[in-house]
């Protein structure tokens, strides 16, 4: 892979997330040292085609947003909400607008939709070959497809946070 290309990984089918809903994924990523570390994320779909991705870690103390409720939204579904202390986050920017981490942001991810799949850009994911604990949280565990061929490599860098245009 050349320096002006980024890796893209298909995370799920776009239609597997209903408009207005969110799904969590437990991924693994490779650090610069080559170590494999857990990389929990979630993806929110707004409207028909806008997807927003964030690392699933509350900036207040690092827990998963869906830690106790299993969900990602406040009751009115106007904001993302942390299940632990109820911090409220803007859905499209990840900025905390209320709560113990007000003014801080969720870590955004660069997403794009390619051929009907929601894809994560620019994060070196690792295939997770660990056996799954059947008593774990019922996360929607991804079937990661590493997209490494020329057809799916995207030139340049992807912006963070904002949804990217769907590619056909
Ligand atoms: S851990 Fe999220 S608001 Fe406290």
Residues enclosing ligand 1, CB less than 6 A? 58, 60-61, 63, 82, 84-85, 87, 99-100
Helix (H) or strand (E) holding 37: strand 36-46
Instruction: State the distance between the two ends of the chain, measured CA to CA, in whole angstroms.
Output: 22
**DSSP-based three-state secondary structure for 122:** coil
pTM above 0.85, yes or no: no
DSSP class per residue in 44-102: EEETTTEEEEEES--TTTS--TTTTTS--B-TTSSSEE-TTT--EE-TTT-BEEESTTT
The tens place of each residue's pLDDT in the chain, 168 residues long, gives 565 678 899 999 999 999 999 999 999 999 999 999 999 999 999 988 899 999 999 999 999 999 988 899 999 999 999 999 999 999 999 999 999 999 999 999 999 999 999 999 999 998 765 444 444 444 444 444 444 433 333 333 333 333 333 333
Q: Is 16 helix (H, G, I), strand (E, B) or coil?
A: helix
Strands 80-81 and 50-55: unpaired
Say if residues 114 and 126 touch (Cβ distance below 8 Å). Answer: no
166 bridge partner residues: none
pLDDT tens digits for range 1-42: 565 678 899 999 999 999 999 999 999 999 999 999 999 999
Task: Look at residue 69 in the predicted model and tell me its pLDDT.
Answer: 85
pLDDT at 85: 96
Question: How far is the centre of ligand 1, averaged over its atoms, from the C-alpha of 137 (Å)?
Answer: 19
| Domain range summary for the chain, segments of one domain joined by + | 5-57+107-155
CA gap 117, 109 in Å, rounded: 15
Q: Which atom of ligand 1 is nearest to the CA of 61?
A: 1
Which mutation among 40, 54, 58 tests ligand 1's pocket best, with the greatest number of atoms within 8 A of CB? 58
Structural tokens at position 96? 């905390």
Count CB neighbours of 124 within 10 A.
16
Give the whole-angstrom CA distance, residue 52 versus residue 54.
Answer: 7
- Kind of pairing, strands 5-6 and 88-89? unpaired
């Amino acid at each position: 892979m050349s320096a002006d290309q980024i890796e893209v990984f298909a995370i799920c089918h776009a239609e597997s997330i209903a408009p207005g809903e969110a799904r969590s994924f437990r991924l693994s990523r490779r650090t610069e040292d080559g170590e494999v570390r857990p990389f929990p994320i979630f993806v929110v779909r707004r409207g028909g085609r806008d997807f927003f991705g964030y690392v699933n870690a509350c900036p207040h103390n690092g827990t998963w947003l869906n830690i106790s409720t299993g969900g990602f939204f406040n009751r009115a579904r106007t904001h993302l909400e942390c299940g632990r202390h109820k911090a409220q986050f803007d859905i499209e920017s990840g900025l905390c607008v209320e709560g113990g981490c007000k003014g801080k942001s969720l870590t955004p991810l660069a997403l794009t939709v390619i051929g009907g799949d929601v894809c994560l850009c620019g994060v070196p994911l690792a295939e997770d070959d660990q056996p799954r604990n059947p008593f774990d949280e019922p996360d929607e565990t991804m079937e990661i497809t590493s997209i490494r061929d020329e057809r799916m490599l995207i030139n340049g860098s992807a912006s963070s946070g904002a949804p990217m245009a769907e590619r056909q």
